[in-house]
Chains A and B, each alone.
Chain A
Amino acid sequence: MKNALLFVLAFSLSASASARDWSTDAAASKLGFSGTYQNEKFEGQFKKFDATISFDAADLSKSKFDVNVDVTSINTANEERDGSLKDKEFFDFAKFPKAHFVTTTFRKAADGSIEADGTLTVRDKSKPVTLKVKFSETGDKATLDVDTKLNRLDFDIGSGDWKDTSIIGADVLVHAHLSLTAKAG
């Protein structure tokens, strides 16, 4: 009985020491974005990414998102455009195959919405980025939706002549939807 109590105590301590860990169901998750091309909206996604998610709405200080993106998995449903994106003027797959995002702090706004500040690294550029976070949890299952707006020029996506925003708009809206399952323990 005493052992059991100690076990429960130890378990609850370990649980509070870090936020709840979640594993991502890749098939049901999507890292998508939209931009403009010749003033028309287009959508794309990164088909391969790994997300390490620790999140506890009750204890944001222990929450953390750490996401590695395989940028070579980009798909904008346009063969020529996807071909251009691998070039050195854009993502430069040969030199920078990965992008990385990691949170630094989580904040709860007055209206209850949650924001996460973090650092996004694309190519060799690292910039602070703030995500709008929506986390909805039901037992061991959860969905996580994050949104942010990036400026592609901050990350040298489209250098040289491609800085021309009349062809490719500067703003890129990023939306990720993750389907999560709580990790045991």
Chain B
Amino acid sequence: MPIRNTEQAWGSVNKAFHWILALLIIGMGFLGWYMTWLPNAPGKIKIYALHKSIGLTILALVLLRILWRQFDRRPPELPMPQWQHVAARAVHIALYGVMLLMPLSGWLFNSAGNFPLQWFGLFHVPSLTDGENPTLKAIAGITHLILFWVLLVAFILHAGGALKHHFIDRDSTLRRMLPWGIRAEKSPASPTTTTINSAQNSPSTPEVKS
């Protein structure tokens, strides 16, 4: 599997970013809700510290991912109705926005609440505010919560869209992002798939067998 993106599929770096972030973000969604219901005890503080550490990790990975995007050309989009291109693009923008703003609003909330912040207990991460700031804390807290719902909607559209492409349209939208590379087609290539390459003016065959 190539490191960089190809005409047919995402490269291993992009796939790693995609799936590691997917796992971390889904885990954080559950952890974030779970931890708020815990009784006030040292265990709760430790779980919050874990949530913060993972959040900072996500922020760092997203920044690296955006940086990598600048040097690695996206595979051409598969043919689909224009509204789907627009919708997919809007959802991608929303996902990137949330991936950046969710950790930042959490960091701001933590700072304005005057909580300590460390990355897995290994090093101190500085505060974004000068001590306690109840107004900023309230704004950051509400933003963090609203972003969760935006994330949930964007996630459903993103994953739902990918599954729709895979199971209904039977194109390679999902396959070309799968960790183990592009799977061999089990069903014969659909007419849609064939038109991709003519549309892209690509000399390669429609499907790369792996």
Bound CA–CA A144/B108 (angstroms): 39
CB pair A39–B131 under 8 Å, yes or no, is no
CB pair A39–B118 under 8 Å, yes or no, is yes
CB pair A38–B113 under 8 Å, yes or no, is no
Q: Which of B43, B46, B132 contacts A77 (CB 8 A)?
A: B132
Q: Is A140 an interface residue (CB 8 A)?
A: no
Within 8 A of B (CB), among A152-170: 161-162, 164, 166-167
Q: Is A84 an interface residue (CB 8 A)?
A: yes
What is B's interface to A at a CB cutoff of 8 Å? 40-43, 45-46, 49, 113-116, 118, 121, 124, 131-132, 134, 137
Sorted from nearest, which 5 A-B pairs have the closest CB atoms? Answer: A40-B116, A78-B114, A77-B132, A38-B116, A167-B42
Q: Is A111 an interface residue (CB 8 A)?
A: no
List residues of chain A with CB within 8 A of the CB of B124.
40
List residues of chain A with CB within 8 A of the CB of B132.
77-79
Chain A: minimal CB distance from B29 (Å): 22
List residues of chain A with CB within 8 A of the CB of B113.
78-80
Chain B: minimal CB distance from A143 (Å): 26
Bound CA–CA A78/B115 (angstroms): 7
What is A's interface to B at a CB cutoff of 8 Å? 37-40, 42, 76-80, 84, 87, 161-162, 164, 166-167
Chain B: minimal CB distance from A164 (Å): 5
The residue on B at minimum CB distance from A40 is B116
List residues of chain A with CB within 8 A of the CB of B137.
79
Given A77-B131, A77-B132, answer yes or no on A40-B118 (Cβ-Cβ < 8 Å): yes
List residues of chain B with CB within 8 A of the CB of A164.
42
Q: Which of A76, A78, A79, A161 contacts B42 (CB 8 A)?
A: A161
CB pair B42–A39 under 8 Å, yes or no, is no
Bound CA–CA A52/B113 (angstroms): 36
Given A40-B124, A77-B132, answer yes or no on A167-B45 (Cβ-Cβ < 8 Å): yes
Interchain Cβ contacts under 8 Å between A and B, 13 examples: A38-B45, A38-B49, A38-B118, A40-B116, A40-B124, A76-B114, A77-B132, A78-B113, A79-B113, A79-B137, A161-B42, A166-B42, A167-B46
The residue on A at minimum CB distance from B132 is A77
CB pair A39–B116 under 8 Å, yes or no, is yes
List residues of chain A with CB within 8 A of the CB of B41.
161-162
List residues of chain B with CB within 8 A of the CB of A40.
116, 118, 124
Bound CA–CA A65/B119 (angstroms): 44
The residue on A at minimum CB distance from B118 is A38
Bound CA–CA A35/B92 (angstroms): 45
CB pair A162–B42 under 8 Å, yes or no, is yes
Chain A: minimal CB distance from B54 (Å): 16
List residues of chain A with CB within 8 A of the CB of B134.
79
